[in-house]
Amino acid sequence: MLHPSRWIKTGKHRCVQLSVNPSRGLMDEKFVILVQHAPPGSELTVHALHQCDDGHGWDAFAHYISDATGRVNVSEDCSLGGTYSGIEPMGLLWSLRPVPGSKPGLRLRKKNVQEPMLVTVSVYEGHRKEGFADLVPLASVLVERWYMAPGVRRIPVTEGGLTATLFLPPGPGPFPAVMDLWGGGGQLVEYRSALLASHGIAALAIDYLTAKNTSQTGINMSATYFETAYKFLQEHPQILGSRIAMMGLSFGTGVTLRMAAYSEVMKLRCAVCISGSHVQPVDKEMGSVKELLCFVSLQMGRLQCPLMLIVGEDDQNWAAEESANDMKEMMERAGNSHLLTVLSYPEAGHLIEPPYTPHVRFSKFKSVVMVLWGGQTLAHSRAQEDSWKKMLFFLRVNLFTNGLEKVFGPPFKIAELC
C-alpha cells in the first residue's frame, strides 16, 4: 500500500517528496497536495488515477513548475495546462475523465459507500499528457475519499414494501432526517445520503423506479409509497419525527414538489429540488409522466414549507431554469414567495452532485441511450461546491432551528448567510 508521503531518488540525486493532507477524508473535504525537494524550476506533472466500482479507469493531470525551493503546492500554484488550468486545489478530482480508450458515455458513481474512493496521486518529471501507465512516477500517494464518516450507520430498509437505505449519523440521536430521491434512472443510489449523514443529518435513500418496486401496480409508485417512507422516519426512535425534509434531483424534483404541495400526510420542514420541474401529472400515478398530454403545473401556492431550487442554466435535460422562474412567479402571485430560495448557476448542467464529483456533459442512460446533460466543466464544478455548502446550511437552519426568518429575521438571503 502507498503511504501518505513517498519519495524516490531521481537521476539528479534528489529525493522528490509528495504528500496529500489529509490523505483520508470525506468526499467534500478539501486536501492539500504538496511536492517538495524537486529541482528548482523543473517541469512536473501531477496526476490522479481512480478505478471506479464498475472497473473503468478515470484520470486527471496538471502541469506545474517548481519554485526556487523545489516546491509545488497545488492549492496555491497555477496549473499551466492539463485537464484544468489555474489555481484549483481540487482540480485533480473534479476534472477526472475516463482514461483514453474507454468506451463512450461513462459516468462516475460510487456504488459501495462502505468502501472509499481510492485515488492514486503521482508526480512525474516533465510536462506529460499521456502514457502515464508506462511511466515511472517520482513519487505516489494513495488517497481515500469517503462518503461515510466513521461512526455513520448504514441500515437497509424493506418494511412496508420500501426499498431504501437509512444512514444515521454517529451518536445516539435523535436526528433530523431527509428523504433522498434521485432521478429517472432508477436503482438505489446511496452516496449523497451517506454524505448527508456524515454531516449530522440522517438520510433515507429511496429506490422508487426500478422494476421490483413497480411490478405490483404495473406503474410507478403512488404517493402512498413516499408517505410510507415518511411514516417510517416519523416512527424511528433515532429520528426527530417533526423535523423531516425531502430532496429530489431531476425526476425526483417533481416527486418532491408533488408530495410537499399535495400530501395530507407529509408535513415537511423544508424541501430541496435540484435540476427538475414542477410540470407533471397531479391527479395520476407517477407512471403517467410518459403521457405528455397530462402535464400540468403543480399549484405552488399550496406549498407551506421552505423550498430551495438548485438550477443549472445550461441544463440540457430539463427546462430547469424556466421551471424555476415559473415557480417563482406562481409563488409571488400566491403570496408564499418568502419560502423560496433559488440558486441558479450559469454554464452548470443537469447533474449537480456533491462537491468534486467529476463533471460529465453526456453519458449513457439506463445503458440504452446517450443523454446530453449540459454544463461546462469548471463552471459546473464551481456550482456543485457552492450549492452543496448552501444546501447544507439551508437544511441545518430548517431542520435544527425554527427556520431562517425566525433566526435571522426577514428578509434573508442564503447567499449572504453562507
Residues with a known catalytic role? 250, 315, 350
Cβ(148)–Cβ(110) below 8 Å: no
End-to-end CA distance of the chain: 39
Beta partners for 36? 17
> In whole angstroms, how far apart are CA 337 and each of 279, 326, 399?
18, 12, 20
User: Which uninterrupted H or E stretch holds 210?
Assistant: none
Residue with cell 458515455: 105
In the sheet that holds 72-73, the strands lie side by side as: 5-9, 15-21, 32-36, 72-73
CA dist., res. 327 & res. 337, Å (int): 9
Beta partners for 341? 308
CA dist., res. 26 & res. 38, Å (int): 29
Distance of CA 294 to the CA centre of its chain: 31
Cβ(385)–Cβ(373) below 8 Å: no
Write the single-letter amino acid at 247: M
